Amino acid sequence: MTDEFPDNILYGIGEMVAARMGLHFPRERWNALESALKKAAKPLGFQDVVSLSHWLLASPQDETRVECLAPFLTIGETHFFRDEKLFRAFEEHLVPQLTASRSRYGRRLRFWSAGCATGEEPYSIAIVLKETIKELSDWHVTILATDINRDFLEKAAQ
């Protein structure tokens, strides 16, 4: 790669990010990883990207050490009904199929909105369910919303 980033450094950081955060940076994406590290160095309080890299790879490699990279490795785009076609298909096809198939067996629906930043997508799911399912109060609905960026989660909680 570059003088700042020998292959073993990018490989090590990529493996650590994959193990701790589930984000994968194979060799083909090392440029994106390198770019994120360069953007992260100063805001995270490091003089340069080399210092950040050494700190990241130093022992012990705890969750907090890696999670500080989340804002620099993820996109963070979120808004209500973000993918219009997807939500239309969800409303017109998936919800009717799910409610028809589960109306006789417990009336339970569970959804997982992964990587949803501050939560507009799971709220969009809830809006569609409220508008689509008659007698929604007779159903047990769970919507799990997750993201790896703690700043987004704190904002969503507020």
3-state secondary structure 78-107: CCCCCCHHHHHHHHHHHHHHHHHHHCCCCC
Taking the CB of residue 53, how many other CB atoms lie within 10 A of it? Answer: 21
Output the pLDDT for position 64.
Answer: 78
Model pLDDT, residue 26: 93
- The reported pLDDT for the residue numbered 41 is 94
| Residue ranges of the chain with per-residue pLDDT less than 50 | 1
Helices (H) and strands (E) in the chain, counts: 9, 2
Structure tokens at 20: 């701790």
Give the helix/strand (H/E) hosting 38.
helix 30-41
pLDDT of 143 reads: 96
pLDDT of residue 123: 94
Listed residue (127, 50, 148, 52) closest to 82, CA to CA = 127
Strands 140-146 and 108-114: parallel
Confidence at residue 82, expressed as pLDDT on a 0 to 100 scale: 86
Q: What is the pLDDT of residue 4?
A: 62
Q: How far is CA 96 from the centre of its chain?
A: 27
| Total-model pTM | 0.73
User: In which region does residue 38 sit, left (phi positive, over 0), alpha (psi from -120 to 50) or beta (all else)?
Assistant: alpha
Please report the pLDDT score of residue 149 as a whole number.
86
CB burial readout 57-74, b (16+ within 10 A) else e: eeeeeeeebbbbbbbbbb
Report how far residue 105's alpha carbon sits from residue 150's, in angstroms, rounded to the nearest whole number: 37
Cα 29 from Cα 116, distance rounded (Å): 22
